[in-house]
A and B are shown apart, each in its own frame.
Chain A
Amino acid sequence: MCPGHPCGVSNDFVLVLVVITALGFDFTNGFHDTANAMATSIATGALPPRLAVAISGVLNFVGAFLSLAVAATIASGLVSVSKVTLTVVAAGLIGGIIWNLLTWLLGIPSSSSHALIGGVIGATMAAAGGSAVLWHGLVSKVVIPAVASPIIAGLVAAVGTWLIYRISQAMTDGARRHGFRIGQIGSACMVSLAHGTNDAQKTMGVITLALITNGTLAKGSQAPVWVILCCALAISIGTYSGGWRVIRTLGKGLVEIESPQGMAAESASAAVILLSANFGFSLSTTHVATGSIIGTGLGKKGATVRWGVAGRMATAWIFTLPSAAIVGAGAEAIARGIGSTTGVIIDLVLLLAVVATIYFRSRKGKVDPNNVNDEWTGSVTPAQPATAAA
């Protein structure tokens, strides 16, 4: 039982369920975000799609071991640990997973981090009221970085793009395309590494929070090695499975990209993500990558940004925190209404039902490595192959 405070459920069985759900979230985080690192490399042809996701998967695994600063923010900086129960953590994860899958179905590169944080906050509020949320931490470590980071990344990418085109003016088109494709492979690898560093830590933070809640770990503990290892594995397998729908939107939908722009965008993303990870900001790698891609469109004369697509994404970003919070709060209410372990199990059964529904919906109008680069015709689902070939 958890010492010191009354909680509805506390046993090792529920803890195991929570850890499995958390790793499930980590998996969706990986495949939702493969695009952040690899969309532009796949779009410019610098890397073949399957190789790109394989490299990204491996580097996400490595990146997960780089830092623990963000995990600490999630584990103790956002909600009052003494008010959190295992049920709350499970409900929060369910909120995050469902929002992640819905946005993936629509091909919208929304933030996995916000989905997770929103879910946990919604569930905490439903269980213990608004006072259990550390609003200061939420605003200073999550909301403000969420607004600032895509703007900074866009600025860096625009400056980088402008410099690159100025400097390489004298080069022939063929040499330039080839040279920057090689550079792009390097910069895409850096984004993958940065993604592992930043995003795998979020799940580590949540599992650590669950372990502290259960009394398995002392308050203020760091993530144990087995947690780091499991999270690294889950995010890298998720990345390898490739979220082709989001890759397509980010690589083809937003801006038509050439290899020098791809490299500029990726370098900007990698730099901003790694810097923020270092400051313990739990920023969204997705917001940064999108900001960079828009920035690289603005930095090159004659490039056009499809603001309609960008606007649709921005709308999804605004809705991510509250929507995931509502789902998380609902899941918490259901679990608490039914009570104890059964409540958590019923929640998870409902989650599986939603996951299955979304999966079968996604089979109609599939996006895969073969059609991910087809001409952008206004939607994430490409036109039929026959029309594309004609």
Chain B
Amino acid sequence: MPKLHVTTTINGEPMEFLCEPENTLLDALRNQLGLTGSKEGCATGDCGACSITVDGRLVCSCLMLAAEAEGRQIRTIEGMAEGGRLHPLQQKFLEQAALQCGICTSGMLVASDALLRRNPDPSEEEVRFWLAGNLCRCTGYDKIVRAVLEAAAEMRETSR
């Protein structure tokens, strides 16, 4: 089969790319489109380092074919900061040292953002449950959870 031509929207920008039928969306993002913020950890949907949203829904881009992006609204970590201004979640991750090696960080941020868009005031348990599909082998999670809770509080304050 010849390459597939996919037309999609990524971080609000119309995009087109060519892919093989078996390519994952993660492959296409990283290799065709140069969006290397999404990471490949396990490639089996266990670690969440490749987390993106598709039509607002949190998914692992390693478990989705690139061809399935046709006509969808994709958001990746690259769409999180506005120009040079970091998203409050990104800012809090830095302030709270909620990252060490960084491989899980973009997935953590995308997943946390998806949570806060649904639930601006989550409990610690809700944050931990929501992020259970994002593995971090460095931090022990505490700093990440704290950063998400503090970013949520700050965002609530700002939107008041």
The answer to whether A and B interact is no
